Amino acid sequence: MISFWEKDSFIQYDLIIAGSGIVGLSTAIEFKEKNPSKSVLILEKGIFPTGASTKNAGFACFGSLTEIIDDLQHYSEDIVLSTVEKRYKGLEKLKNRLTNFPFDYHQYGGYELISNEQLHYLDQLQEVNKLLEPIFKAPVFLNVSDKIAAFKFSNAHVQQLLFNQFEGQIHTGKMMKGLLSKARQLDIEIITGVEVIDFYDEENRVIVQAHHELQKVDFYSEQLCICINGFTNRLLPQLNVNPGRGQVLITSPIQNLPFKGTFHYDRGYYYFRNVGDRVLFGGGRHLDYEGETTTSLQTTPYIQQQLESLLKEVILPKNDFTIDMRWSGIMGFGDQKAPIVKLLSDRIGIGVRMGGMGVAIGSEVGTQLAGIM
C-alpha cells in the first residue's frame, strides 16, 4: 500500500530502466542528454549493480588473437569485424563519457599467452592484423616473446607472447561511480533494492511491477528499457539469453610484481591483470558450463582451485602469494555474439546479451537503445 504523496510524486516517469549496470546507466544518460525535460528512473534489484558491472575484471579489451580466429570459424569476416569495431567504439565512448571522472584507466596494453597447443594460431596473425587494419590503422597483434622471461611466466606453459597496444585496464568500481555520478548530475533517479518482476504494455503507458522486501509497487511510464543482461531470462525467457557466471580472485600485494597490463590465456577462457601490485585472475567457466550457467553469486572450490593452480604454475611460478578475496559476477550469453538491441513494442526496448564484453560494448549498446526509444 502506498500513500497519496508517493502516488503523486514517486511512481510516474517518462522512462523507466530495469538494471543499473553499464548498459542501464549508459541508456539513461544518453536518453536524458537528448531529452533533458523527460523524467528517468532506474530500478536496480541489488544494493550495487547485480550482474557483472561492478564485479568484472576491468579489461578495456575487444578480443584476443585466438578469440578472433575462433570467431572467424563460426561467423563471417563482416560479422567478426563489426563486433570488434562495436567493442572498440564502445570503449572510446566510455572513456569520453568519464573524462571528468577518475577511473584509473591505464593503457598498459594487452597480452596473450600462447601455449604449445595454440602455436598454430600464429599462422593467421598477419591475416587478422590485415582484417583489423581498417579500424585501428596499425598492426594490432605483435609478437613480443622476448618478454616472457622478464614477466617470469612458466616457460613450460608459455611458448609465445603477443602484445596488443590498444588494450587497457580500468578500475571497475571507480568507472561505475563515475557513471552513477554522471547520471545524478542529469537528475536521473535511481532506486536500489527493487527488482522488476513483471511489466504490462497498455495502450498509453507501461505498468512496471516492482518488488522490495517490504512491499510491491506498480510504477508507470511512457516507456520501459530492460537492461538486466545475465538475468534476462527471468523477465524474457523467450529470448534465450542465458546467465554465465565468471569467477574471480585477487591476491594480496606481491613484492616486485614483474608485469603490468591485461593478459589473456587459453583462448580467453582465463584472464588476469595487475591491480597495482596485486594480481586479479578469473575465468574457468568452460570447465563446468552447466554448473556455471547460473545466477548464483557464489564461488566453487573446483574452479577456484584451478585458478590458484594456474596462478602458481603458469603466471607466478617464481613468486609467493596469498589470496585476498574471491567473488563472481553474472554475464549474459546466447547463440550469437552480437547483443540484442531492439523494440519489443512501441514503448518497450531491450539491450541485453553482452556476451562477457559489457565493459567494451555496454556504452555503445546504451547509445543504440536510447536512440530507438
pLDDT single digits (tens) 58-98? 999 999 999 999 999 999 999 999 999 999 999 999 999 99
Q: What is the per-residue pLDDT across 333-363, written as a single tens digit (0 to 9) for each?
A: 999 888 999 999 999 999 999 999 999 999 9
Eight-state DSSP code of residue 275: E
- Residue segments in the chain with a per-residue pLDDT below the cut of 70: none
Where in the sequence of the chain do the CATH 3.50.50.60 domains occur?
1-58+171-240+335-373
Q: What is the pLDDT of residue 200?
A: 95
Q: What is the pLDDT of residue 150?
A: 97
Other beta carbons within 10 angstroms of residue 144's beta carbon come to: 16
Pairing of strands 110-114, 270-275: unpaired
Q: Return the closest-CA partner of residue 199 out of 15, 367, 332, 366.
A: 15
Fold of 1-58+171-240+335-373: FAD/NAD(P)-binding domain (3.50.50)
Q: What is the pLDDT of residue 337?
A: 86
Q: What is the pLDDT of residue 252?
A: 98
Q: What is the pLDDT of residue 203?
A: 85
102-168+242-333: in CATH 3.30.1370.100: no
Q: Return the closest-CA partner of residue 147 out of 261, 303, 297.
A: 261
Where in the sequence of the chain do the CATH 3.30.9.10 domains occur?
102-168+242-333
Q: What is the pLDDT of residue 1?
A: 83
Q: What is the pLDDT of residue 350?
A: 98
Q: What is the pLDDT of residue 62?
A: 92
Cβ proximity of 271 and 263 under 8 Å: yes
Query: Alpha-carbon distance 79 to 74, whole Å?
Result: 10
Going by C-beta distance under 8 Å and a sequence separation of 6 or more, which residues neighbour residue 17? 24, 27, 28, 40, 41, 42, 43, 224, 225, 226, 227
